[in-house]
Amino acid sequence: KQEVTQIPAALSVPEGENLVLNCSFTDSAIYNLQWFRQDPGKGLTSLLLIQSSQREQTSGRLNASLDKSSGRSTLYIAASQPGDSATYLCAVPMEYGNKLVFGAGTILRVKS
């Protein structure tokens, strides 16, 4: 059974810092891994999707890496801004067909 863990559970940083969020999964036979952002009480916004054949994906100040063999992914946020404050979730498919297993998320607060 696939399990996803995210560390840390919460993070508070001053504006401008670079930061890393961690995600680990127990079954390395994944097709892809997706990072999402969730604002309080809102739906999920997809940030990055990394295919199993890829090692990283970049979008603006965000960079996500994937190491299937060790069951880990990291989300790197450069030059953090107060607008980055949100919960960040990672998810992997249970099986082909994109039925996702989510971690509990990392709550990020960027202080101005």
Partner 1 sequence: ETGVTQSPTHLIKTRGQQVTLRCSSQSGHNTVSWYQQALGQGPQFIFQYYREEENGRGNFPPRFSGLQFPNYSSELNVNALELDDSALYLCASSLAGSGGLDTQYFGPGTRLTVL
Site membership for partner 1, residue 49 (CB under 8 A): yes
In the bound state with partner 1, the residue whose beta carbon lies nearer, of 53 and 69, is 53
* Half-sphere exposure (Cβ direction) of 60: Cα atoms closer than 13 Å: 8
In the bound state with partner 1, the residue whose beta carbon lies nearer, of 46 and 81, is 46
- Rounded CA separation 60/84 (Å): 13
* Half-sphere exposure (Cβ direction) of 17: Cα atoms closer than 13 Å: 15
The two beta strands, 4-7 and 19-25, are antiparallel
In the numeric block, which tokens belong to residue 7? 């560390």
Stretch that binds partner 1, among 12-20, 62-70, 78-86, 102-110 (CB under 8 A): 102-110
Site membership for partner 1, residue 99 (CB under 8 A): yes
Residues that bind partner 1 (CB under 8 A): 4, 31-32, 34, 36, 41-46, 49, 51-52, 89, 91, 94-95, 97-105
